[in-house]
Chains A and B, each alone.
Chain A
Amino acid sequence: MALLNVEDLKVYFHTRNGVVKAVDGISFSVDRGETFAIIGESGSGKSVACYSMLGLIPKPPGRIEGGSARFNDQDLLTLSESQLRKVRGKGISIIFQDPMTSLNPFLKIGEQLIEPLLLHTDMSRKQAWQKATELLLEVGIKDAEKRMNAWPFEFSGGMRQRVMIAMALITEPDIIIADEPTTALDVTVQAQILKLLKELQVRRNIGVIFISHDLSVVADIADNIAVMQQGKIVEQGSRDSIFKEASHPYTQKLLAAVPDSEKVPTALDGEQAIVEVQDLCVYFGSEKHGNQVRAVDKVSLRVERGEILGLVGESGSGKSTLGRAILRLVNPSHGKILFEGQDITELKAAQLKPLRRHMQMIFQDPYASLNPRMTVYDTLAEPLLLHNIANKKTLDAEVFKLMDSVGLARENVLRYPHEFSGGQRQRIAIGRAVATKPNFIVADEPVSALDVTIQAQILDLLLELVERFDLTMLFVSHDLGVVRYLSDRILVMKHGELVEAGTAHDIFSNPQQDYTRSLLEAIPGKSLLLGEVGSVGGPDR
């Protein structure tokens, strides 16, 4: 019998607006040494299913309505809270999505690491400390003895996730639930963490339940995959069968959402570049105090009219700062920015205003970048009035036209941002950006906060708008797959400098720099991206 056997699990949330069937009769099993992936969009019930087994969902409103979850000859769903506590962290432990928020900022790493040991074993504090130190070394944290006494903020995101993994492993559990463990991380770090998880799993022969919204992430590591939609498992099978013979339309949609094609470069007429940047530098801090950060260091580039220029790099590489500096949202330290041939480097805010309507920005997080107290109408009308594009008579019509062009239903015009999903909010943000009919848009990670299928829709919307409005776009992203799908040319950035430039095709088929190669290596499920599924196995097979 399998290690964990879930049968017909049902978890409903009884809210004021009625019953939400978060998990509606799902069955699956996980064995030792197996990686079982649950794939679905946010809200599909994949996390709720796993948390509810351990009693970690808020009750009320949550309620387990039926089913069983057999683990070690007991049904987890019938256990009392105190019995469940003995399973949590001991039999089954969890690695959470966001390592930045999942560690207690007020306790030292070592203190947090040994907590489960002191709770679940008879170890003394000293022994526990010793074991935690060894484990930190095993998950790849150097200088572990010293690092045990460090605070969480002294670690980078990837390092914190290693600490989280160590914390989950420390009691030698039988099963680890990894809930989107790499979603918040950079691609190269993501690849390291996935590899580490796989190695540890093989070495210790444990079962892993891997929750993700992204099929490509699990393409290389999962043995079996279940696809969840609206609380139900719509398709379940071995990795190869899912990738090759997916029959359910939703699975096919997920597979199609992986941006796997390469854009055919737009023909350019070679006239004057819309944006030209010469030796641009943006420094933060000051040299005198020794805390100077060279976010952007002597970057020169041209954005040709009508192209989509992809800008990739890891977080901290300065790509967002570069994008903002070009729009003069951040002041450059040195260098020159030409927009439509005009030097805008030294322009004052008032002089910039007439230019602003021609250059716009789309931000990463549609939850934070829209004013929560403004309706869609207000948000879209504001730039139209500000730049005298519409007057009182034509305003309504213009707002509706904008909503049509970004695919928002007209009846939503008086709604507030919180009433929309992430994808719809990003549509609002895009609508706001194109309202002034700009020539040039900087899109800063516009899809990285979105689910994959939504991501694909927004990318297609951007392509369509670029075509329709003759836009030129600087597309900033850490996701090479997305950049490849969208961009005519790609620039690769590292530590504030441009290290490589070329057409999407050149970069992908013939990268010149080691750094670019490492970025390409790190793309999750690149086998999928390059159409090689089935020929590559996980490291253990």
Chain B
Amino acid sequence: MWRFIGFRTLQAIPVIFVVITVTFFLVRAAPGGPFDDEKAVSPQVQAALEAQYRLDLPMHEQYFAYLADLLRGDMGPSFNYPGRSVDELIFQGLPITAELGFYALLVAVGIGVLSGVIASLRPNTVQDYVPMSLAMIGICMPSFLLGPLMVLVFGIWLDWLPVSGWDQSSGDKVLPSITLGAMYAAYIARLSRSGMLEVMSQDYLRTARAKGLPERVVVIKHALRAGLLPVISYLGPAFAGLLSGSFVVETIFQIPGLGRFYVQAAFNRDYTMILGTTTFLATLIVVFNLLSDFLAAWLNPRLRYQFQKGK
């Protein structure tokens, strides 16, 4: 198991490296530059700006200088927010995005697992069709449609919840969390349904029933753990996806999170900011994928046994 962990971690490094390299050259290959919007500036000022951001160096030197900085944990100064570094901006937005992502994950797991398990108990009946049809709708509905819809119904017509902001009025975290989590809830519902259905047909559940155990115990004690393994492996990618995919929701609900910096950076050709956020999010995705793989492996008694024996 240690070897497994070490091997998987080593595998992740080239992935991140490739992401950095590709992004670095792609943003520079895209038409336009960071200072195109400025009013005509004198050639001296232009040169000074380019020198400050190292844009006057040959491409490969820029690249290696950036990598060297990155190794020291320095993602460079932002082009768009003069005087502020990319690190600073990311760590300003991250806590908010992480909090939003966490609540959305709770929504996703809570609703998803519950409806998936309920559906799996009576397959091909109303109890199955209703939650699964809702899940289908949830998967198909993009958040830029669901968000405004929720705002319209719960914020304006019913006037139950605030329609925007973050941490400014009570309840303003509810709608964004649900909007962001809904799609993932739908996917988790389908995952847990199929996982449970597969387990429900296993011989050892028949053994459990033959002991005289009530159905509730059969499901919770004997089926759930194996049935939810696919969900657990999915949690990592889901959380990473929530973090990187939150910019639509952040825009709809006016939330000052990471996602908005990301989008603005792309519009402004803020090279270092695009690179910084991309690298950061790619690392997060890789790390969470690894973590959920390790967790799923840990939940498999056979692998854990080898782990404890130090093999």
CA distance A154 to B213 in the complex (A): 25
Q: Are A88 and B204 in contact (CB under 8 A)?
A: no
Is B54 an interface residue, CB under 8 A from the partner? no
- Among A2-10, A91-99, A451-459, A463-471, the stretch that binds chain B is A91-99
Q: Are A151 and B211 in contact (CB under 8 A)?
A: no
Q: Are B211 and A93 in contact (CB under 8 A)?
A: yes
CA distance A453 to B263 in the complex (A): 71
CA distance A222 to B267 in the complex (A): 83
Question: Given A88-B210, A116-B211, A106–B203 Cβ distance below 8 Å?
Answer: no
Residue numbers in A under 8 Å from B214 (CB-CB) = 82, 85
CA distance A215 to B302 in the complex (A): 37
Is A420 an interface residue, CB under 8 A from the partner? no
Q: Are B206 and A87 in contact (CB under 8 A)?
A: no
Q: Are B301 and A151 in contact (CB under 8 A)?
A: yes
Encode B194-235 as 1/0 by CB contact (under 8 A) with A: 000000001110111111111000000110011000000000
User: Which of B203, B212, B222, B302 makes the CB contact (< 8 A) with A90?
Assistant: B212
CA distance A98 to B203 in the complex (A): 8
Residue numbers in A under 8 Å from B211 (CB-CB) = 88-89, 93, 115-116, 119, 167
CA distance A89 to B210 in the complex (A): 6
Residue numbers in B under 8 Å from A154 (CB-CB) = 305
CA distance A79 to B48 in the complex (A): 90
User: Which of B203, B213, B225, B226 makes the CB contact (< 8 A) with A119?
Assistant: B213
User: Taking chain B's interface residues, is the majority helix, strand, or loop, or is none over half, making it mixed?
Assistant: helix
Residue numbers in A under 8 Å from B203 (CB-CB) = 96, 98, 101-102
User: Which of A85, A153, A164 makes the CB contact (< 8 A) with B212?
Assistant: A85
Q: Are B301 and A94 in contact (CB under 8 A)?
A: no
Shortest B210–chain A CB gap in Å is 5
CA distance A87 to B209 in the complex (A): 11
Q: Are B226 and A106 in contact (CB under 8 A)?
A: yes
Q: Within residues 222 to 258 of chain B, which ones have a CB less than 8 A from any CB in chain A?
A: 222, 225-226
Query: Nearest residue in B to A111 (C-beta to C-beta)?
Result: B221
Residue numbers in A under 8 Å from B208 (CB-CB) = 104, 115
Q: Within residues 293 to 311 of chain B, which ones have a CB less than 8 A from any CB in chain A?
A: 301-302, 305
Q: Are B301 and A105 in contact (CB under 8 A)?
A: yes
CA distance A356 to B146 in the complex (A): 60
CA distance A164 to B211 in the complex (A): 11
Q: Are A101 and B202 in contact (CB under 8 A)?
A: yes
Residue numbers in B under 8 Å from A164 (CB-CB) = 207
User: Which of B204, B213, B221 makes the CB contact (< 8 A) with A101?
Assistant: B204
Interface size class on chain A is 20 to 34
CA distance A103 to B211 in the complex (A): 12
Q: Are B226 and A116 in contact (CB under 8 A)?
A: no
Is A54 an interface residue, CB under 8 A from the partner? yes
Query: Nearest residue in A to B304 (C-beta to C-beta)?
Result: A151
Shortest A93–chain B CB gap in Å is 7
Residue numbers in A under 8 Å from B210 (CB-CB) = 54, 56, 88-89, 93-94, 96
Is A517 an interface residue, CB under 8 A from the partner? no
Q: Are B206 and A96 in contact (CB under 8 A)?
A: yes
Is A385 an interface residue, CB under 8 A from the partner? no
Shortest B302–chain A CB gap in Å is 5
CA distance A104 to B211 in the complex (A): 13
User: Which of A94, A105, A116, A120 makes the CB contact (< 8 A) with B204?
Assistant: A105
Residue numbers in B under 8 Å from A387 (CB-CB) = none
Is A19 an interface residue, CB under 8 A from the partner? no
CA distance A82 to B225 in the complex (A): 25
Shortest B2–chain A CB gap in Å is 14
Residue numbers in B under 8 Å from A373 (CB-CB) = none
Shortest B72–chain A CB gap in Å is 39
Residue numbers in A under 8 Å from B207 (CB-CB) = 94, 96, 102-104, 164, 167
CA distance A105 to B226 in the complex (A): 9
Residue numbers in B under 8 Å from A104 (CB-CB) = 204, 207-208, 222
Query: Nearest residue in B to A93 (C-beta to C-beta)?
Result: B210
Residue numbers in A under 8 Å from B302 (CB-CB) = 105, 151, 153
CA distance A102 to B209 in the complex (A): 11
Shortest B308–chain A CB gap in Å is 11
Query: Nearest residue in A to B299 (C-beta to C-beta)?
Result: A106
CA distance A107 to B202 in the complex (A): 14
Shortest A40–chain B CB gap in Å is 20
CA distance A203 to B22 in the complex (A): 75
CA distance A104 to B209 in the complex (A): 12
Q: Within residues 37 to 72 of chain A, which ones have a CB less than 8 A from any CB in chain B?
A: 54, 56
Shortest A87–chain B CB gap in Å is 7
Residue numbers in B under 8 Å from A101 (CB-CB) = 202-204
Q: Are B213 and A56 in contact (CB under 8 A)?
A: no
CA distance A153 to B306 in the complex (A): 12
CA distance A87 to B214 in the complex (A): 12
Chain A CB within 10 A, most for which of B204, B208, B210, B222: B210
CA distance A444 to B91 in the complex (A): 63
Q: Are B225 and A106 in contact (CB under 8 A)?
A: yes
CA distance A107 to B204 in the complex (A): 11
CA distance A528 to B212 in the complex (A): 38
Q: Are A87 and B204 in contact (CB under 8 A)?
A: no
Query: Nearest residue in B to A177 (C-beta to C-beta)?
Result: B210
Question: Given A103-B204, A104-B222, A88–B301 Cβ distance below 8 Å?
Answer: no
Residue numbers in B under 8 Å from A415 (CB-CB) = none
Q: Are B301 and A102 in contact (CB under 8 A)?
A: no
Shortest B307–chain A CB gap in Å is 13
Encode B115-131 as 1/0 by CB contact (under 8 A) with A: 00000000000000000
Residue numbers in B under 8 Å from A103 (CB-CB) = 204, 207
Query: Nearest residue in B to A82 (C-beta to C-beta)?
Result: B214
CA distance A192 to B223 in the complex (A): 32
Is A86 an interface residue, CB under 8 A from the partner? yes
CA distance A56 to B205 in the complex (A): 11
Query: Nearest residue in A to B301 (C-beta to C-beta)?
Result: A151
Question: Given A54-B210, A56-B209, A89-B210, A153–B301 Cβ distance below 8 Å?
Answer: yes
Q: Are A102 and B212 in contact (CB under 8 A)?
A: no
CA distance A115 to B222 in the complex (A): 11
User: Which of B206, B301, B305 makes the CB contact (< 8 A) with A106?
Assistant: B301
Shortest A178–chain B CB gap in Å is 12
Q: Are B212 and A87 in contact (CB under 8 A)?
A: yes
Query: Nearest residue in A to B205 (C-beta to C-beta)?
Result: A104
Encode A108-132 as 1/0 by CB contact (under 8 A) with B: 0000000110011000000000000
CA distance A154 to B305 in the complex (A): 10
* Given A119-B211, A151-B305: 4 more A-B contacts, CB < 8 Å: A56-B210, A105-B302, A106-B222, A153-B301
The 8 sampled A-B contact pairs (Cβ below 8 Å) are: A88-B211, A88-B212, A89-B212, A106-B226, A106-B301, A116-B211, A116-B212, A119-B213
Top 8 closest pairs, chain A to chain B, by CB: A89-B212, A88-B212, A89-B211, A101-B203, A104-B204, A85-B212, A94-B210, A102-B203
